[in-house]
Structure 1
Amino acid sequence: MQPIIQITKLSKKYKDAETYSLNDFSLSVTEGQIFGLLGPNGAGKTTLISMLCGLIKPTSGSFSIHNLTYADNPNEIKKIIGVVPQEYALYPTLTARENLMYFGSMYGLKGENLKEKIIESLDFLGLLKFADKRIETFSGGMKRRVNLIAGILHNPKILFLDEPTVGVDVQSKSAIIDYLKQLNKNGTTIIYTSHHLSEAEDFCTDIAIIDRGQLYAQDTPENLIRSTANANNLEDVFISLTGKELRDDI
């Protein structure tokens, strides 16, 4: 299959920075994958995702999304990607339904189709009975689920997820993962970042481990574990490739 994302020698150096956040980075993501982008703090994950979402420009190199580039087709790319940030992108004084109606309208959605999509998504994630409650009254897990729905109302071809299950209870995590698997089954390619390595091992079809702005390894979770000496799980692979050095930063 053709790559849905093709990255070629991509680099990014921020103004006044001493080193590159991403350096000569190349990667392919095949359509239909649940692709895990894993790395320690400061590895370059956020920089890479920000470039792929069109939020910042690369210093050098290139990438395409669904054979499109931002230079030539910025609006077309924005229509086919969805972004779910780690921070809640919700208005606390609005209800869940009001939030989703607003975000749906931002994608150009309206009418009965939007209303039905909202009801269907809230129902799948166990939130329909709270549809008309204000977001400020929701638990962290409930907010996380609404945050996810806000990013997929327009049925994106590619969904970027940053720590989609961080800080939630086991039941919310299970509901989110089941929902994401259903989205993927329906044709959405998922790009997923997380520090939950056991979750990534079970969830992802393919994984890239990056550190210090470079790609260290890419393969299926099973093959990564099999090819790493004395590794029993993805965490062992991660430590073997990136080391035990603490990545504290200010």
Structure 2
Amino acid sequence: MRYGAADVLNGVAFQVRQGEVVALLGPNGAGKTTTIEILEGFRMRSAGRVEVLGADPAHGDERWRDRVGVVLQSWRDHGKWRVRELLGHLGSYYTRPWGTDELIETVGLTGHADKKIKALSGGQRRRLDVAIGIVGRPDVLFLDEPTVGFDPQARQDFHGLVRRLADDATTILLTTHDLGEAEKLADRIVILAGGRIIADGPAAALARRIAGEDEVRWVCGGERHVVSTGDSTAFVRELFGRHGEDVRELEVRRASLEDTYLALVREHEGTDR
């Protein structure tokens, strides 16, 4: 993607499998939103090949749109509609929509189904945004900062919904600045910086790439032990096989996604200088 003489995206290449949840991460200006908009068919790319559900999004027809769901960072329309009315109306455009009341219950708006949208709180409005995005039971769902404004309970409920959708073979691509959310939800992490992909893989694999080995700490026989290992699961299994219940205060420390993300972005910024 090029604006004038500046490349906003260059050589970005990745695939997402059916039912996979992929988090697209990166600092502001990295090209995340541009990437998502190209995949959604809302922005025309300058060059390259893009395919979503077997079609070029730039030329997606109504049948293609019927299979795609989008949750934008915010919606600012439909304020005079009531929740149930709007979702019922939008569902009528799809071939296999959710039942309206089932969808309202799924996103936690049952008690607000007859409210006008302009009367909803910020968190309730965000739940409605999600409902609008999934009303057609999409095969591919794009989520742009989906839990902004959610309280902890709403965020937990939404995470459960994402996993249920993925279990039902919905493919999900999400952007978020909440790295804990990405680590919890995503099967795979794709990190963009400077318009290029600098990392792609499961969070644990990316952490090993940066941090190397896990650190295992425990107490046995009154003595404290610390060991670094590339396979903490196998090590702990062997440890309990040798010492059983004598193992106390076991702790396994792995690099978090936040540690990994910051290290990769700093590394990229260093090579760009």
TM tier, shorter chain?
A: 0.7 to 0.9
What is the deviation of 1:72? 5.8
CA contact (8 A) 2:20 2:187 kept: yes
Q: Unpaired segments of 5 or more residues in structure 2?
A: 213-253
Structure 2 residue corresponding to 1:161, chosen from 140, 143, 147: 143
- What's the counterpart of residue 243 of structure 1? 266
Question: What percentage of aligned pairs have identical amino acids?
Answer: 34
RMSD: 2.1
The answer to whether 1:221 aligns with 2:203 is yes
CA distance in 1, matches of 2:116, 2:11: 46
**2:21 pairs with 1:34:** yes
Does the CA contact (< 8 Å) of 2:66 and 2:94 recur in 1? no
Q: Which has the higher contact order (CA 8 A, sep 6+)?
A: 1
What are the Cα deviations for residues 121-174 of structure 1, in whole angstroms up to 9, with x where unaligned?
A: 111232112100111221211111111011111111100000000122111111
Q: Greater CA radius of gyration, 1 or 2?
A: 2
Stretch deviating more after TM superposition (235-244 or 130-139): 235-244
Across the two proteins, how many residue pairs are aligned to each other? 228
- Per the alignment, residue 175 of structure 2 pairs with 193
Normalising by structure 1, report the TM-score. 0.84
Are 1:171 and 2:153 counterparts? yes
Residue matched to 1:212: 194
**Aligned-partner Cα distance in 1 for 2:61–2:33:** 20
| TM-score, normalised by the number of residues in structure 2 | 0.78
Structure-1 residue corresponding to 2:163: 181
- Give matches, 1:25-64, under 5 Å: 25-64=12-51
For 2:210 and 2:57, locate their aligned partners in 1 and report how far apart those are by CA, in whole Å.
37
Contact kept? 2:67, 2:138, Cα under 8 Å: yes
| Paired amino acid for 2:157 | A
Q: 1:81 aligns with which of 52, 56, 68?
A: 68
Measured against aligned partners, the alpha-carbon deviations of 1:193-245 in whole angstroms (never above 9, x if no partner) come to: 00000111111111100111100010011111112137711111111111299
- The answer to whether residue 79 in structure 2 is matched with residue 92 in structure 1 is yes
Residue ranges of structure 1 left out of the alignment (5+ in a row): 1-11
